[in-house]
Copies of this chain bind each other. A is one copy, B any other.
Amino acid sequence: MDNQPLPAARQRLLDAGLELLLERGYHGVGIQAVLDASLTPKGSFYHHFRDKEDFALQVIDAYMAGVHGALDVSLADVSVPPLERVRGFFGLVAGGYAKDGYLGCLLGGLGQELSGVSPVFAQRIDGCLSYIADRLAEPLDEARSVGDLPPSTDPKALATRLVDCWEGAALRSRLSRDPAPLREMLDFFFHAATRE
């Protein structure tokens, strides 16, 4: 990749943006801090991104590419029972949080900070959470058909609750820099969901 400086610079900018936006939030990060952290000149930033908003939206896309990967990896193995696949997904996500020092979820962070004033970010992030719930609804539906969830379960509604509750647990984990709220929420949720 050394002879492809522009894609490499774009990736470095996105990587730095992901780390900085997660830690400091949108308004807490200036473009200069991203340039400094990624050792990238300003011209390169504006070659790849229209402005800071465009940059942050592309950072969200990059974050979601990671989420897609985690969904694909954890949900693909149909030899694993469906509820374990769903927990496996959150295990991968929590592993990512651990690497960041338990700073929580970029979607929740930017969603809280920006959605009061920016319909663009509100809709984008709401769409990301809906996408994750849609993907999780499939194994939850399968769990219902094999009897691991009660017949009355609405898989889409259950997946939506799960994602929403996870975001709350991620906030709490961020506040306390502690993985316990994540694990305890999942324990409660899966215990609860499997009861009639």
Interface residues in chain A, defined as those with a beta carbon under 8 Å from any beta carbon in chain B = 22-28, 103-104, 108-109, 111-117, 122-123, 125-126, 129, 157-158, 160-161, 164-172, 174-177, 181, 184-185, 188-189, 192-193, 195-196
Contact = CB atoms under 8 A, between A and B. Distances in A.
A184 B157 contact: yes
29 contacts: A23-B116, A23-B117, A25-B27, A25-B112, A25-B113, A27-B113, A104-B112, A108-B112, A108-B171, A111-B112, A111-B175, A112-B174, A115-B174, A116-B174, A122-B174, A122-B175, A122-B176, A126-B175, A129-B175, A160-B181, A161-B185, A164-B172, A165-B168, A165-B169, A166-B168, A167-B167, A167-B171, A167-B172, A168-B168
A133 to B, nearest CB: 10
A29 B165 CA distance: 29
A26 B26 CA distance: 11
A117 B101 CA distance: 12
B165 A117 contact: no
Q: Which 10 A-B pairs have the closest CB atoms?
A: A168-B168, A192-B192, A27-B27, A112-B112, A195-B195, A167-B168, A126-B175, A165-B165, A23-B116, A164-B168
Contacts of A175: 111, 115, 122-123, 125-126, 129
Given A115-B175, A116-B109, A126-B175, A184 B160 contact: yes
A176 B116 CA distance: 10
Contacts of A25: 25, 27, 112-114, 116-117
Interface centre among A22, A172, A196 (most CB of B within 10 A): A172
A123 to B, nearest CB: 8
A176 B157 CA distance: 16
A131 to B, nearest CB: 13
B192 A116 contact: no
A193 to B, nearest CB: 7
